[in-house]
Chains A and B, each alone.
Chain A
């Protein structure tokens, strides 16, 4: 099982074991990761599961849909090069030990 390292807005790190196949957002919710609200349950409708990933792993995660791209432009926290909606990312070994930062809103 990949280990995901959530970097919280207050600087703390929360490392959790994640099940491959679930989304990053589901993993965060199950582990009560502060800052991931996910009001729309993974429908990419709310942008309250915004995370920032290291840029070098972005290409391993597959393309961003136009809808997600638009949502990220106006998410609560400003968009960064590594910004994604965590509900649109499936956990895989590519994310093992990767730091997933929760941007400060």
Chain B
């Protein structure tokens, strides 16, 4: 770490110290938990702007929306956990500003809270359709918070018509849920394929085929120019003039890191809050974790919106605040549930990577990605064994022989010992 060992910010915070965490999502909560696990005994406050105690977001667009998971079970911790761990939880609380010189934050109600260390875990927000397109109509939703889903759920009715704007993971997960509910589903995506920025062409094609086979209609390479309706949305006009009827619209057009607070406090913002490989921002007393943080790593900046990143970067920041001095070694992984497909991804593939397909015995298959001959990522499509073996190989930078990977007769176990 570039910080001098005798700088006050390099000292391990003790009993008299106060740590504030802004953002009570999975990264914020996990930072608090790990600070305690790493021996921090001082005052610990977790501040969240949502009314709900920290909860799991991934099931929102899947099991929770389907009604298969009760609201209470989304909670990451029992109510008494916070008191037991001496973590002050301030919900429904917005931080208005950070006074870095005086080391305190100002809450929206004017309360000032002093800190010795501050962790920004402000997360991301769902990008909304521009006003020129949405025109203030009712029946348009985004997917990020529990409140978003609670608002959307009553609008999803059997025989209803859902229009999903954006063919990313959120949009496709919602599309699958809505088809399961018996709705008509149209997906409009500006690229020529779904998952264009977040999955390989091979994986995207398989997912697209699945959705088509289940009755989802894609409008690829097209954009919504205007949503139609007087008060409530009744449909959409696309750029090519196509009219699509819809009584519910979900915008799944990406997330934006929540950086307003950090920007106003004078931090460098570059696709998120700039942090070094240890998770420290430009202010040595202030750290960043989770969706909002863009970590400066040897291979370039890395910002990821995923639970894995929330947990790993929170763990990193908590350990480093407590003196570990370890750089971030991300192990990117993602998953998505759509219809009966479980997609599991380890590593980060890029356009131009060589793709090796391994066909499983049943419906399962996996896609293995190579860059300059080195194995860099794996996608398992209902292929958990392939995925886990690939993930394990990635962890040790091993590179299995592509010919062996492609050989469906060769037992996967043989690959597990690849160098």
Contacts and interface: CB of A to CB of B under 8 A. Distances in A.
B161 interface: no
A37 B311 contact: yes
B58 A43 contact: yes
Interface string A52-74: 00000000000000010011011
A40 B384 contact: no
A30 interface: yes
Contacts of A37: 311
A87 B90 CA distance: 29
A74 B56 contact: no
A53 B82 CA distance: 29
Q: Is the interface of A mostly helix, strand, loop or mixed?
A: loop
Q: Could you tell me the dominant secondary structure of chain B's interface residues?
A: helix
B81 A71 contact: no
A103 interface: no
A46 interface: yes
B76 A29 contact: yes
Nearest to B81: A30
Contacts of A71: 384-385, 388
A41 to B, nearest CB: 4
Q: How large is the interface on A (under 10, 10 to 19, 20 to 34, 35 or more residues)?
A: 20 to 34
Nearest to B55: A41
Contacts of A8: none
B77 A40 contact: no
Given A39-B308, A40-B335, A30 B62 contact: no
Contacts of B337: 43, 45
Contacts of B388: 47, 71, 73-75
A32 B81 contact: yes
A22 B74 CA distance: 11
A10 B59 CA distance: 32
A67 B73 contact: no
Given A29-B77, A30-B81, A73-B385, A67 B342 contact: yes
Interface string B48-85: 00000000101100110000000001011110010001
B58 A26 contact: no
Contacts of B311: 37, 39
A36 to B, nearest CB: 12
B27 to A, nearest CB: 12
B365 to A, nearest CB: 14
A39 B307 contact: yes
Nearest to A32: B33
Contacts of A73: 385, 388
Interface string A13-51: 000000000100010011110100101111111110000
Interface in B370-419: 382, 384-385, 388-389, 392, 416
B285 interface: no
A74 B385 contact: yes
A41 B56 CA distance: 7
Contact of B335 (A26, A31, A43): A43
A43 B342 CA distance: 9
8 contacts: A32-B33, A39-B333, A40-B58, A40-B307, A46-B335, A67-B342, A67-B382, A70-B385
Given A30-B81, A71-B384, 17 more contacts: A22-B73, A29-B76, A29-B77, A32-B33, A32-B85, A37-B311, A39-B307, A39-B311, A40-B307, A41-B59, A43-B335, A46-B308, A46-B333, A67-B342, A71-B385, A73-B385, A74-B392
Interface of B: 33, 37, 56, 58-59, 62-63, 73, 75-78, 81, 85, 307-308, 311, 333, 335, 337, 342, 344, 382, 384-385, 388-389, 392, 416
